């Protein structure tokens, strides 16, 4: 049974509100993982009277270190403690489940951009128009009917100011329900591979395909007969092999793998459990 850590904004919340979010998180995580979970109790009821926010964060990270999965409840990106917990989970290979925003949720551009990349239209709360991913760029659909590629904006600095706001919304809330916002770039895929995680692309058609990072044998290993014959060595000679990537193919076989240009530029990489 996997251990679940729940990261949620708590400042200004009542105990009842906090526990309600945790109950929803447990249900969502079990549905996402397809199995029951053991919940790590990170709701501190007996904290010292003089406990500082840093004390709570330190205790939370200790608990996060024991988790298999970390669930980030809606609004986590606006709570500094949750943001730090998110980075710790990413850097140290804890699997993530991030709650999709509700239809009326507002959030940062960073999170809205993840939705945009996967086909959702986004807008700021007061806008009549919206932004859409089209033809390899972001197209601004204005309220007056004009469709303007973002790089052709009349005032690029005014446009860029929007990226630092926190009132972004999904235009069509129905689209977000099946939206996986945990995909990432190839650069992030490499970092995760080196942390021992398996990755794949949503754009690959073959079922069961994924890539792993093999550390190789930088200090050398005695080569077997097949390797010795292939390289003109003597059986037992030291054979140094640098790190490489390996892919599991559709038929279950494994091959050394080099990414294509499409793979390198793709932003639909995700973790394979």
Indicate the helix (H) or strand (E) that contains 222: strand 217-222
Q: What is the DSSP letter of 252?
A: S
Residue 40, phi then psi, degrees to nearest 5: -80, 125
Nearest to 247 by CA among 204, 187, 188: 204
The stretches of the chain forming alpha helices (DSSP H) are 15-33, 53-64, 80-91, 109-117, 156-161, 173-176, 186-194, 225-231, 261-265
Query: Hey, what domains does the chain have and what are their CATH numbers?
Result: 2-98 (3.40.50.450), 109-176 (no CATH), 186-272 (no CATH)
Q: Are 198 and 271 in contact, with CB atoms under 8 Å apart?
A: yes
Query: Can you give the pLDDT at residue 235?
Result: 94
Q: How far apart are the first and last CA of the chain?
A: 14
CA distance 151 to 36: 47
Whether the pTM exceeds 0.95: the reply is: no
Across the strands, what pairs with 221?
239
What are the residues whose beta carbons fall under 8 Å from the beta carbon of 245, sequence distance 6 or more?
A: 193, 211, 212, 213, 214, 256, 257, 258, 259
Query: Can you give the pLDDT at residue 179?
Result: 47
Tens-digit pLDDT profile for the chain (273 aa)? 899 999 999 888 888 888 899 998 898 888 877 889 999 988 877 777 788 888 889 999 999 999 999 998 888 888 889 989 988 988 888 888 877 655 456 678 877 887 787 778 899 988 989 999 998 899 999 988 999 999 999 898 989 999 888 888 887 653 444 444 467 889 889 988 998 999 999 878 778 899 999 999 999 999 999 999 999 999 999 999 999 999 999 889 999 999 999 899 888 888 887
Query: Can you give the pLDDT at residue 245?
Result: 96
């Amino acid at each position: 049974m996997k251990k679940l850590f729940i990261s949620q904004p708590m400042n200004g919340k009542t105990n009842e509100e906090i526990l309600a979010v945790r109950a929803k998180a447990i249900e969502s995580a079990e549905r996402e993982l397809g199995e029951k979970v053991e919940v790590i109790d990170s709701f501190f009821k007996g904290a010292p009277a003089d406990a500082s926010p840093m004390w709570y964060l330190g205790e939370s990270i200790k608990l996060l270190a024991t988790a298999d999965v970390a669930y980030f409840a809606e609004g986590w990106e606006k709570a500094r403690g949750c943001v730090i917990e998110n980075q710790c989970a990413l850097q140290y290979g804890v699997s993530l489940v991030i709650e999709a925003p509700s239809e009326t949720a507002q959030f940062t551009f960073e999170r809205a951009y993840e939705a945009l990349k996967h086909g959702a239209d986004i807008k700021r709360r007061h806008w009549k128009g919206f932004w859409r991913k089209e033809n390899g760029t972001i197209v601004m659909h204005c309220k007056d009917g004009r469709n303007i590629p973002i790089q052709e904006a009349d005032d690029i600095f005014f446009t860029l100011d929007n990226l630092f706001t926190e009132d972004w919304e999904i235009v069509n809330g129905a689209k977000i329900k099946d939206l996986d916002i945990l995909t990432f770039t190839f650069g992030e895929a490499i970092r995760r591979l080196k942390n021992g995680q398996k990755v794949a692309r949503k754009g690959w058609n073959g079922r069961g395909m994924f890539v792993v990072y093999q550390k190789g044998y930088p200090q050398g290993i005695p080569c077997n007969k097949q390797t010795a014959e292939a390289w003109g060595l003597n059986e037992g000679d030291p054979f140094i092999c640098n790190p490489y990537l390996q892919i599991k193919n559709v038929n279950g076989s494994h091959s050394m793998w080099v990414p294509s240009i499409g793979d390198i530029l793709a932003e639909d990489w995700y973790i394979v459990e």
